[in-house]
Amino acid sequence: MLNNYQPKPEHKFTFGLWTVGNRGADPFGTQVREKKTPVELVELLAEVGAYGVNFHDNDLVPIDATASERNQIVSDFKKACSNNGIKVPMATVNLFYEPVFRDGAFTANDARVRHYAIQKTMRAMELGAEFGAEIFVLWGGREGVETDACRRPDEAIKRLREAINYLCEYNIAQNFGYKFAMEAKPNEPRADIYMPTTTAYMAFIETLDHKEMVGVNPEVAHEQMPGLSMYHAVAQAWEAGKLFHIDLNDQYPGRYDQDLRFGSVSVKQMFWMVKFLEDVGYEGMRHFDAHAYRTEDYEGVKDFARGCMRTYLILKEKGERWNADSEIQAILAEIEETNKGSLGSFENLLATEFDRHELASKGLQYERLDQLTMDVIFGVR
């Protein structure tokens, strides 16, 4: 059957304004693409077939905008979204760009900076709610250190908890109905960021007053920078009922945050991850938090955005193929054959005779299984 991998609304593909709006600046060079307005970016997203757009407060409303400017921007953007059939499923807050956050936002040593960060977040929540956003992402990019001389990490964690508890209360008081999705990253822009991995956040969330309101937003690049498995992080979050959102992109391990086009590096990992999301019936957004190469103009940005979605749909189809493959299924059935019985009582278990040599005597066929997987991914099965 011919599949043209066309994105459809039911695929829930979203992009941040900061992703397709990324102008190619890096620490060593300036912008290479002209600035596009939020309205133009929504038009671009509609053209490539996205379902939705997400934004930080200041991607949409400049930080120094007056109240009337804000209202004008909001009303223009609302019109653009509705004219182009684009939804706003998620909103977030920029707590990393301004110099005021140089020592962190929720974890800064100066209490006024912490309070300002919380106030800025409350306003960003209001802004997102005006667009019907249901997920609020918190990425604590500046919540970290270059020198641990400045504060103890456990003190920072207490401050982070105080901030999130307060914001949950505000969410309840205003009846916004948000779910918060915490996004981890090990480093960059800080030398060390306090919540380095998705699973670190999952432990932290359990200590919150309203833990049911808070989950995670794992990002491929952020898990893979330190060489971890994004797929495993996603699966653990899912199993705990905490996979509220996901940031899809790609990354070579051990490097700076590359935010590459989804699936352009770690094809096999992303195959397992997409297959997992589809198999378990993840219903959240498939958000691409990536940007086009610095070599590109806006046609290239569209190629980039289309490529993210196309690769996702190709991997989804490969997953279906893997599930339907009779040779693969036969091996899986054999594996499952050994997965019988339960632990039973202590007495029972202690009385059972195990022949450890016999248990280790038969090959498990994982080589064959993996090569069949590779054949599926390569498209020769």
Q: Does residue 223 belong to the site contacting ligand GLT (CB under 6 A)? A: no
* Residue 222 CB, nearest approach to Mn ion (Å): 6
Q: Which of 86, 92, 289, 311 binds Mn ion (CB under 5 A)?
A: 289
Let me know if 210 is a catalytic residue.
no
Quick one: which of 72, 46, 49, 48 has its CA closest to 61? 72
In the list ligand GLT, Mn ion, none, the entry touching 92 (Cβ below 5 to 8 angstroms by class) is ligand GLT
What value does the CA radius of gyration of the chain take, rounded to a whole number of Å? 23
Q: Which of 12, 14, 17, 18 binds ligand GLT (CB under 6 A)?
A: 18
Q: Does residue 139 belong to the site contacting ligand GLT (CB under 6 A)? A: yes
Q: Which residue has the tokens 């609302």?
A: 78
Let me know if 11 is a catalytic residue.
no
Q: Which of 57, 59, 183, 250 binds ligand GLT (CB under 6 A)?
A: 183
C-beta of residue 174 within 8 angstroms of C-beta of residue 167:
no
End-to-end Cα spacing for the chain = 14
In the list ligand GLT, Mn ion, none, the entry touching 137 (Cβ below 5 to 8 angstroms by class) is ligand GLT
Q: Does residue 92 belong to the site contacting ligand GLT (CB under 6 A)? A: yes
Quick one: which of 231, 216, 296, 294 has its CA closest to 263? 231
Q: Which of 247, 266, 310, 373 binds ligand GLT (CB under 6 A)?
A: 247
Cα angle: 180, vertex 186, 188; to 5 degrees: 100
DSSP 297-332: -HHHHHHHHHHHHHHHHHHHHHHHHHHH-HHHHHHH
* Residue 107 CB, nearest approach to ligand GLT (Å): 16
* Residue 56 CB, nearest approach to ligand GLT (Å): 6
Torsion of CA 154, 155, 157, 160, to 10 degrees: 180
Widest CA span in the chain: 78
Sites of contact with ligand GLT (CB under 6 A): 18, 56, 92, 137, 139, 183, 219, 247, 289
Sites of contact with Mn ion (CB under 5 A): 219, 221, 247, 257, 259, 289
User: Annotated active-site positions, please?
Assistant: 56, 59
